[in-house]
Structure 1
Amino acid sequence: MASAIEARLSALNITLPDAPAPAANYVPFVRTGNQIFVSGQVSSGPDGFIKGKLGADMSVEEGAAAARRCGLALIAQARAAVGDLDKIKRVVKLVGFVNSTVDFTDQPKVVNGCSDLMVEVFGEAGRHARSAVSAASLPFGVAVEIEAIFEVE
């Protein structure tokens, strides 16, 4: 029988990507006790990295869509860590980095793309603490990178 979260993903017409492999000398997640710390997931889609700089060549809406893609990768990593997404008890915290100009101030609106996804998928358990900060640049020129902490059974 499919898990409740997998059924919700299906009902929302959301297909998770494969959990991305690390791009350097680190692991994609660490489980310690009842928490999973997921390494930063960069914005990428079916056609590769989603690149850009908010406030220069990307709109807030495009940035939020890129953040949503980070969220899909975070959930995929969580599934790789625990096997069954129903074992996720809570999204504890997201830390979002937005590749943006020095005068761009809508980082929270961009990272909402990921935050909104977590609530769509996990309901009240998807509500989380969060940071949304600017970065002068991000790996590979991506628009957004987000890391997460999940509480698990």
Structure 2
Amino acid sequence: MMHEEEHTDRVTRVAIEDAEAADRERRVPPAAEVALTTVECSMPGERYTLLDSGPHLALHLAGPGARGGTGPCICGFDRHARDANGRHLVGFSVGGGVTGPGVRHAVCAGCASLAGGRTIRGTNAALFAPATPGTNTEEAANAHS
């Protein structure tokens, strides 16, 4: 009798685990459906403030964070890295950014290749379009208008 009860308990437990896994799959969108957000970064050692940034900036992509907010850059670039004195190596803006005459963005090739056709949001999202003629913000904005 005990053997049948153990079997029934195991079958029930497996059915519950399968149902829970199916429920998680319905709630968590596949990676291909997750939108990415632009992360504009200063070059190492350069200032990055509201009124004093650029003219050369790096542009990465990040997905959602595991606990909400914005996660890490998908290429592995650490935008939170600090030097030996604890100062940030780069300044950055998630979703925002600097535009205007003379501002040039270096699009991260790693992020661009990992984007996989996903929706990209942010001020400079158009720079990740495959047909972008250059990395100049004004050129890309005109090409996609």
TM-based fold match above 0.5: no
| Larger strand share, 1 or 2 | 1
TM-score of the two chains, using structure 2 as the length reference:
0.27
Higher RCO, Cα 8 Å, sep 6+: 1
TM-score of the two chains, using structure 1 as the length reference:
0.26
